[in-house]
Amino acid sequence: MRKNSIKLTRINNEVMRELSNIIRGEIKDPRINPMTSVVATDVAPDLKTCKAYISVLGDEESQKNTIKGLKSAEGYIRMQLAKNLNLRNTPEIIFVLDQSIEYGVNMSKLIDEVNKNVEDEQ
């Protein structure tokens, strides 16, 4: 795996920031959960594709609907990215559901539960 250059890291951060702003403020699709956040972006070195890791706070149905809504609004999102970012190519966005935040919350609950049980036994 190739190490990210400083330029590519900066592009990833800019795309992530703009994508968050667009999803939060400009898309009016009712399928998209209001508790949606962009966790990370991975722009290819040739600027042709971008994987956007999306985290949705909600049940599984809400997560699926949010991804469907984002995929249907991909053209609009890409147009807004082209307008807001000055890149040679505007990357094609691939939305990937990221469940790491939800996994962390569940693990934290389990740890608290175990700690509570240990304190009760003592």
pLDDT tens-digit profile, the chain (122 residues)? 456 688 899 999 999 999 999 999 888 889 998 889 899 999 998 889 999 999 988 888 988 999 999 999 999 999 999 999 888 888 999 999 988 777 888 889 999 988 888 888 77
Give residue-wise pLDDT tens across range 35-52. 898 999 999 988 899 999
Q: Given this model, what pLDDT does residue 89 score?
A: 86
Q: Given this model, what pLDDT does residue 2 score?
A: 56
Q: Answer whether 0.75 is exceeded by the pTM.
A: yes
Give backbone dihedrals phi and psi of 42, rounded to 5 degrees, phi first.
-130, 95
Q: Given this model, what pLDDT does residue 1 score?
A: 42
Q: Given this model, what pLDDT does residue 121 score?
A: 76
Q: Given this model, what pLDDT does residue 98 score?
A: 86
Q: Given this model, what pLDDT does residue 3 score?
A: 64
